[in-house]
Amino acid sequence: MNRTDGPGPGGFDAATVAKDFPLLGREVNGRPIVYLDSAASSQKPTAVLDAMREYDETTHANVHRGVYAIAEEATRRFEEARIEVGRFIGARVPDREVVFTKNATEAINLVAHAWGRTHLRAGDAVVLTEMEHHANIVPWQMLAAERGIELRWLPVDEQGRLVLDDLDRLLDGARLLGVTVMSNVLGTLNPVSRLAAAAHAAGAVVVADACQSVPHLPTDVTALGADFVAFSAHKMLGPTGIGVLWGRDELLAELPPFLGGGEMILDVRKEGFTPNDIPWRFEAGTPPITEAVGLGAAVGYLRHLGMEAVRHHDLHLTRYALAALDERFGTDLTVFGPPEAAARGGVISFALGDLHPHDISQILDEYGVCVRAGHHCAKPLMRRLGVTATARASFAPYSDESDVDALVEALAAAVRFFA
């Protein structure tokens, strides 16, 4: 394989980047770890770990409450992280449009609860794609069961692309479209701005699941055209425990609260309460403050790498991996999703002969290679693909060709083992 066409102009060297991630220095089963499960959860650079530790050691107090020095500093750090995240995704009004949640799942549930319960009535339709993660399916199914809402499905073709032939008919009478920007199984990059334009023309709002796209691609929520965008910190080099809901200012401003409690109120009397302004209206209780600081640092780290460079690296590595897998296994290996790298992000799901993904993953573990085996929380898509599970390798800025080479060697060992 050609290894010299590495990082492009303004790019970075993944092996150097990997040195910033302490966990990648460990061994598994006596071999250096080969971490290829970043789509499930990415590793954290020292910059993130240090920021969280420094905050906890010097600044921690509850936010938006105390009038003493460290409480004000903590509030400032928390709100700065919000602005940092907002700018990173091109939010027009970052201080109002970025809501911190527990994770992306909670972000979508927030929309289903606050927007869905005030805007959807019996007979209304919600359109979802067949490649959605359960997080963008089940909240709508719960609401559908409760409210008598019709769920419609935008189909996926043999190459893992959305079939748009029937889009206008599906959107007719729809109030909401839920779509993933990048499939966590297929890697498919969906034409979200085109879908959003069609949805808006039909009078529907758009909820975009950006969990996989935000870590892999430059994100501009305005260009994306969605009304709500959800993603998680722990898939973008940040900590677990914090996710983000971005919503258009004017849409968020008219929504009722999601959870009730402290922080989300302006005033509480025995007779009732007055909700706070956005974004705090949706942040009941003490928020994940240390995690927000960590997310802010993760965004800073990604900004430093440059998201154009991250995309370039991802594309290069995906191309390299698709070629290496094909060269070694030929027709014994099936890659799900679009055949060309440019149509996908750095996620490769595959089947190898008749080996079960669990068995593949077990043998790979012996070689220190971490991949995901399972249904990837996308069972409707698994049924569409006609499989119960797939094995999945996924990349991050610290992944490089040597990781792919190790994967290929370990897969060859799995084939030999079960032969």
Partner 1 sequence: MPGLEDLYREIILDHYRSPRNRGELPSPPAVRAEGFNPLCGDEIVVTVEMADDAVRDIKIGGTGCSISQSSASLMSAAVKGKPVAEVRDLITTFKAMMSIHEATLPAAGEGEGSTPADDAEPAAVDVEAIGELAALQGVVKFPVRIKCATLSWNTLAQALDEAGAPA
Q: Which residues are catalytic?
A: 377
**Cβ-based neighbours of 365, under 8 Å, separated by 6 or more:** 28, 29
Cβ of residue 375: shortest distance to partner 1, in angstroms?
4
Q: Does the footprint of partner 1 cover residue 379 (CB under 8 A)?
A: yes
Cβ of residue 373: shortest distance to partner 1, in angstroms?
7
CB-nearer residue toward partner 1: 273 or 418? 418
DSSP calls for 162-222: B--TTHHHHHTTEEEEEEESB-TTT-BBP-HHHHHHHHHHTT-EEEEE-TTHHHHS---HH
Size of the site for partner 1 (CB under 8 A): 17
Cβ of residue 363: shortest distance to partner 1, in angstroms?
7
Cβ of residue 417: shortest distance to partner 1, in angstroms?
7
Residue with tokens 């996908």: 344
Token pair, residue 116, equals: 């869905």
Token pair, residue 106, equals: 């909670």
Residue with tokens 């991050």: 396
Restricting to residues 332-371, name those near partner 1 by CB under 8 A.
356-359, 362-363, 366
Q: How far apart are CA 368 and CA 383, in angstroms?
A: 30
CB-nearer residue toward partner 1: 264 or 373? 373
Site stretch for partner 1 (CB under 8 A), options 277-285, 287-295, 316-324, 372-380: 372-380
Q: Binding partner 1 by CB under 8 A: which of 374, 402, 405, 409?
A: 374
Question: Smallest Cα–Cα separation from 287: which of 340, 330, 244, 335?
Answer: 244
Q: Binding partner 1 by CB under 8 A: which of 312, 316, 375, 392?
A: 375
Residue with tokens 């959807």: 120
Q: Are 367 and 387 in contact (CB under 8 A)?
A: no
CB-nearer residue toward partner 1: 43 or 361? 361
Q: How far apart are CA 324 and CA 350, in angstroms?
A: 13
CB-nearer residue toward partner 1: 316 or 376? 376
CB-nearer residue toward partner 1: 229 or 377? 377
Q: Does the footprint of partner 1 cover residue 417 (CB under 8 A)?
A: yes
Q: Binding partner 1 by CB under 8 A: which of 205, 295, 302, 373?
A: 373
Q: What residues pair up with 180 in beta bridges, in sequence order?
A: 209
Cβ of residue 416: shortest distance to partner 1, in angstroms?
12
Cα Dmax for the chain: 72
| Residue 403 burial (CB count, 10 A) | 25
Q: Could you give the 3-state DSSP secondary structure of residue 75? A: helix
Instruction: Give the alpha-carbon dihedral of 311, 313, 319, 322, to 10 degrees.
Output: -100
Cβ of residue 362: shortest distance to partner 1, in angstroms?
7
Q: Does the footprint of partner 1 cover residue 289 (CB under 8 A)?
A: no
Q: Are 277 and 361 in contact (CB under 8 A)?
A: no
Q: Does the footprint of partner 1 cover residue 58 (CB under 8 A)?
A: no
Q: How far apart are CA 29 and CA 368, in angstroms?
A: 6
Q: Does the footprint of partner 1 cover residue 382 (CB under 8 A)?
A: yes
Q: Does the footprint of partner 1 cover residue 134 (CB under 8 A)?
A: no
Site stretch for partner 1 (CB under 8 A), options 52-60, 202-210, 249-257, 382-390: 382-390
CB-nearer residue toward partner 1: 19 or 379? 379
Q: Are 82 and 99 in contact (CB under 8 A)?
A: no
Specify the amino acid at residue 380.
Answer: P
CB-nearer residue toward partner 1: 194 or 358? 358
Mask 23-52, x = binds partner 1 (CB under 8 A)? Answer: ------x-----------------------
Restricting to residues 383-402, name those near partner 1 by CB under 8 A.
388-389
Specify the amino acid at residue 50.
Answer: D
CB-nearer residue toward partner 1: 245 or 373? 373
Site residues for partner 1 per CB under 8 A:
29, 356-359, 362-363, 366, 373-375, 379, 382, 388-389, 417-418
